[in-house]
Every structure is written in structure tokens, then in C-alpha cells.
Structure 1
């Protein structure tokens, strides 16, 4: 099977910028969704900048695992760690906006055992997950968002 293609980096960045603007423009009515059979949900995560201390919102894909949410710390499948993940590591107590309302969470990285179990859930949503992850120089962290 041929390696799956990704859109150019500029296109991925533009798509997420448009998505964030749509969310802001609609007052939060558009841009979020709950996960369903074979698809991920979309949430708005707000971290604090590790240097500036200012709120940094980002829209991310997520899946549910009982009362927990989890997401992948990826940067459009590019090599550097995403800024939101670096911010979370510095200050793991954050808030997320979900279609059902806001939630206060703590965001640790999954243990190796948890990571493998949760990664399997992501494989059911994206059959190219492992091929995309292989583009990165190291393993992609799975971030757990547990209620506080």
C-alpha cells in the first residue's frame, strides 16, 4: 500500500486558522463536535503560554474513554512538538470547551501501557495513523484530559 499523502503544511495551518475563526465568529456555536462511531470529536483547549502566561486556545481532535478525554500531541504530523503540548507540560491544569459545555481538566501524558491502549482507539478512527506518526522523529504523546 502506498504511503498516505498529507496536504502541504501551509494548507493544514490555514485550515486550522479558518476553523478557529469560525468558532470565534459563531460565538462557539460552530466548530466543535462530539466523537461518534469512526470519527473523532473536536474540542477547544485553552492553555496558558509557558512564557507569556496569556491564554492560548487551540481546537483539537479528541476521543472519549469513559470519563476521560484524550488527544494526540501532534503538530500536523510535523516534527516539532506543538506549542499547546509544551504549554500543558508547564501548566497541566486547563479548561476545554466541548459541545456540551466547558470542563476543567488536568492533562498528564499517558503511561506507555495507557498510550498503547488509547493509540489503538485512534487507529479505529484513522487507518493511516501509524504511517502519519512514522513521519515524526519520535513517538507522538497521547495526552489524557482527566476531570478536576
Structure 2
């Protein structure tokens, strides 16, 4: 079996600067990053109750959006994931579209199927998993019934 090979991404656009440019341009800058699509995920801070926005690689599974709580293979879950555990209602922005979603973490058998989808568009997730003993969560972001795009 072939070992996954880490591909170092261009990190010139990341974090709060990535979010800022994405918001200012409705994703004209920042929607594509290192050859993959990026969405903005706005969660409710579990401690502050304030909106918190992160730029995340995403994929699709039917109508659902998939994001991976990898934190680059850190032993700690990313804050946005902990926020979703506390409050699963969130908002995604894809380019100019803003879509209310509800998040859930799938069971292990479903996670494996979705993990394969995710590593298909970002193979580095397999490398990130080798860096930590925690199972890296796959998060399904399901558009809310009757969702409206703004």
C-alpha cells in the first residue's frame, strides 16, 4: 500500500486574512486555495456567544457540505468544531451565497465513507491523521430545511 505523501500548501493566504479577503470579495479572493474550494463557516462561540468565522476546505456529499476538523493533525480539536458541538446551527458562505446549516459528526462507518471523499480532494488529511491519536472528525454541514441564500 502506498504511503500518503505530504504536499506543502501555499500558506500566503490563511487565517483571519483569508476570512477578511473572502468576505470583502464574496469569495473572488479565497474561494479557491491550493486547488481546492474554501467555504467560510460561522459558528457561535461556545464561551463568548459571539460569531466566529473560519475558512475551511470543503467537499460535497449530495446536498451536504463536508469539512474536516483536522487542525493540521493537532492533538486538540479546532475551536470551530468545539463550537459546533455546543451549538450545531451555523452559517456557511460559498462565494456570495450564505446558507444556514446544521452540523453533525457521523458515526464511525459513515465517517469512513466520508473520509475517503475528503482525502480524494485533500490527500494531506491522511498525513494529518498520522500526527495525532485522536480520530479526526468529519463534519457534515446539512443545509437547513427551507434554507435561503442571501
Q: TM-score, normalised by structure 2?
A: 0.80
Q: Please state if 1:95 is matched with 2:94.
A: no
Q: Please state if 1:58 is matched with 2:18.
A: no
Between the aligned partners of 2:4 and 2:58, the Cα distance in structure 1 is 27
22-31 or 84-93: which moved more? 22-31
How much does 1:78 deviate?
A: 1.8
Q: Contact 1:45 / 1:58 at 8 angstroms: preserved in 2?
A: yes
Match of 2:16 in 1: 17
The structure-2 alpha-carbon separation of the partners of 1:120 and 1:51, relative to structure 1 and needing over 3 Å to count, comes to same
Between the aligned partners of 1:27 and 1:72, the Cα distance in structure 2 is 23
Between the aligned partners of 1:78 and 1:15, the Cα distance in structure 2 is 17
Task: Show structure 2 runs of 5+ residues with no match.
Answer: 145-150
Between the aligned partners of 1:31 and 1:112, the Cα distance in structure 2 is 32
Match of 1:70 in 2: 66
Q: Please state if 1:86 is matched with 2:85.
A: no
Secondary structure of the corresponding residue to residue 104 of structure 1: strand
Q: Contact 1:12 / 1:76 at 8 angstroms: preserved in 2?
A: no
Q: TM-score, normalised by structure 1?
A: 0.81
Q: Of the candidates 92, 102, 118, which is equivalent to residue 114 of structure 2?
A: 118
The structure-2 alpha-carbon separation of the partners of 1:93 and 1:125, relative to structure 1 and needing over 3 Å to count, comes to same
How much does 1:144 deviate?
A: 0.4
Q: Of the candidates 1, 4, 7, which is equivalent to residue 6 of structure 2?
A: 4
The structure-2 alpha-carbon separation of the partners of 1:56 and 1:111, relative to structure 1 and needing over 3 Å to count, comes to same
Between the aligned partners of 2:137 and 2:31, the Cα distance in structure 1 is 22
Aligned length in residues: 141
Q: Please state if 1:45 is matched with 2:63.
A: no
Secondary structure of the corresponding residue to residue 136 of structure 1: coil
> What is the RMSD of the two structures over their aligned residues, measured on CA atoms?
2.7
In the TM superposition, what whole-angstrom CA distance separates every residue of 1:28-48 from its partner, at most 9, and x where no partner exists? 542225xxxxx5421001001
How much does 1:17 deviate?
A: 3.1
